[in-house]
Amino acid sequence: MTIVSIGFGRDLNGRMVAVNDLVPEKHRGLKCNCTCPECGRKLRAHLGEKTTWYFQHYADNTNCNPQPMTLLHAFVRDQLALRKALEIPPIAIPREFLVGRRRVIQSITIPRQVHTSLKGAVEVRGDGVQPDVLYESAIWGRLALEVRYSHEVDEEKRQRLQNNYELAVEFDVSDLPPSGIGRDQLETVLTDPGRWTWLVNDRGIEFGVNKAQTLLDWGEKNWSVPASYKEIHPAAWAPKKLMEAQSRLVWAKAALQQLKLLRRERAASWLGAQSKTDRVAVACAAMGIEPMVLPSFMLLGGGEGSIPWTLDGHPYSWQPIVFMKFCIGQEEINAAEAGQWCVTALAGLCEDEDGRKSRNGLTRTAAMLQRYFLQLEVLGLVERTRGALPEERSFRPRFASPNELRSYIAQHQPPAKRRRTPFAPDFAFLARYDRTLRNSA
């Protein structure tokens, strides 16, 4: 007689249990209190030190031989249904795009989704479809999950899922060892993006397609700033983050001494490895100003002409660093070079920069910086050196040293006012420029 070894049993609550999750001292033999998921008869747990653990029917001659993959599927399904939280990793799917006149196949990425406060149920019947697990999520609506262990979901079933649920996703366990997976291993395989496939996610796919199209189209056109770039608006204030940066100023001053010893490229990657607020602290330390009273021209709002998918953060997180690096000193300011530096030094904010250049030679990051430099030109904080077209201009810093910058700030930001509102930027400074512009128009 062959011994049938089984990887999973059912506990007293009817829940699937992996033999690998048992504890030898507590669960050896019949103490496992498990029954066969197929025939319901008692199981004995073999938890030896030398051999792989397995369940075995207690009775002889049961004539029962459960399919290992069926049991694995049921185990994974039950475990997933118990979860209150589920993280679906970013998933890439290929799509076809029209770029100019060319057809291009490119992967789009559907961003990571984190579902919390979930209520999961096993095999709830919908209209013509019965997903392995159905979650109710307060924010996302209903999420159907299919555990794949043989065939992938076909188009007909996918359509039925689409008709029933806001979201549907497939999780592939077909290559897992049927006998040897427990709860811990399941946690690990859940983080593997290759196991996940979106079956229904209209909003996520639309988002991914729009983003990819924007990136692809960038190379097809001449970038130009709208005339309205001359309107200057302050960004929403970010007091919490700037207070965080303020609290790091002592550290930043020490770090700056070390940073000055590093070569140019090393210094950029060092900055790139810091947190957003630490970078601001370092930039402020270098300029000798305080993050809490950051001048408003390092906090300029987006508005028309700002470019999506680059410098993807609040202006506080990049403008002080850019100003520190390029807008003080003697060197000519060139957006293309600045753009390259930012990809390294502002890592995380330029993640979607793919290096694609517009027909007039600017990456999206460079264009975004050019727009910022043009605004600084309007404010009289950098001077034009050449280029009639705004897109092609180069600039020269107005301030030769941090000292000059500080005395300029002191003149334009009355100390009395600063004392009264220590955490607010000098909006009055920008308002003055708005008025000047309106009068001159």
Nearer to Zn ion (CB atom), residue 62 or residue 394 = 62
Question: In angstroms, what is the minimal distance from the CB of 95 to Zn ion?
Answer: 47
4 lies in the site for Zn ion, by CB under 5 A: no
Taking Cα atoms as reference points, which of 111, 75, 297 lies closest to residue 203?
111
**Placement of tokens 């050196």 in the chain:** 385
Nearer to Zn ion (CB atom), residue 10 or residue 27 = 10
Question: In angstroms, what is the minimal distance from the CB of 35 to Zn ion?
Answer: 8
Nearer to Zn ion (CB atom), residue 70 or residue 344 = 70
Segment interacting with Zn ion (CB under 5 A) among 30-38, 215-223, 318-326, 431-439: 30-38
Alpha carbon 116 to chain centroid distance?
17
Segment interacting with Zn ion (CB under 5 A) among 63-71, 119-127, 143-151, 208-216: 63-71
The residues, any chain, with a CB within 8 Å of residue 161's CB and separated by 6 or more, are 129, 131, 144, 146, 153, 168, 199, 200
The residues, any chain, with a CB within 8 Å of residue 23's CB and separated by 6 or more, are none
74 lies in the site for Zn ion, by CB under 5 A: no
The sign of the CA dihedral 124, 146, 171, 151 is positive
Nearer to Zn ion (CB atom), residue 43 or residue 169 = 43
The sign of the CA dihedral 312, 316, 321, 322 is positive
43 lies in the site for Zn ion, by CB under 5 A: no
Taking Cα atoms as reference points, which of 131, 193, 137, 205 lies closest to residue 168?
131
Q: Residue 46 has which token pair?
A: 């073999």
Segment interacting with Zn ion (CB under 5 A) among 24-32, 33-41, 248-256, 386-394: 33-41
Segment interacting with Zn ion (CB under 5 A) among 61-69, 186-194, 235-243, 417-425: 61-69
Q: Which of 15, 28, 31, 38 binds Zn ion (CB under 5 A)?
A: 38
Q: Which of 15, 64, 159, 237 binds Zn ion (CB under 5 A)?
A: 64
Segment interacting with Zn ion (CB under 5 A) among 34-42, 262-270, 311-319, 403-411: 34-42
39 lies in the site for Zn ion, by CB under 5 A: yes
Segment interacting with Zn ion (CB under 5 A) among 35-43, 131-139, 372-380, 402-410: 35-43
Taking Cα atoms as reference points, which of 27, 66, 69, 63 lies closest to residue 44?
27
- Interatomic CA distance for residues 286 and 53, integer angstroms: 62
Let me know how long the chain is.
Answer: 441
Residues 171, 81 contacting (CB under 8 angstroms): no
Residues 33, 15 contacting (CB under 8 angstroms): no
Question: In angstroms, what is the minimal distance from the CB of 4 to Zn ion?
Answer: 8
In the stretch 288-327, what mask flags binding to Zn ion with x, by CB under 5 A? ----------------------------------------
36 lies in the site for Zn ion, by CB under 5 A: yes
Question: In angstroms, what is the minimal distance from the CB of 171 to Zn ion?
Answer: 26
- Interatomic CA distance for residues 305 and 231, integer angstroms: 11
Question: In angstroms, what is the minimal distance from the CB of 164 to Zn ion?
Answer: 34
**Which residues bind to Zn ion, rule: CB under 5 A?**
36, 38-39, 64
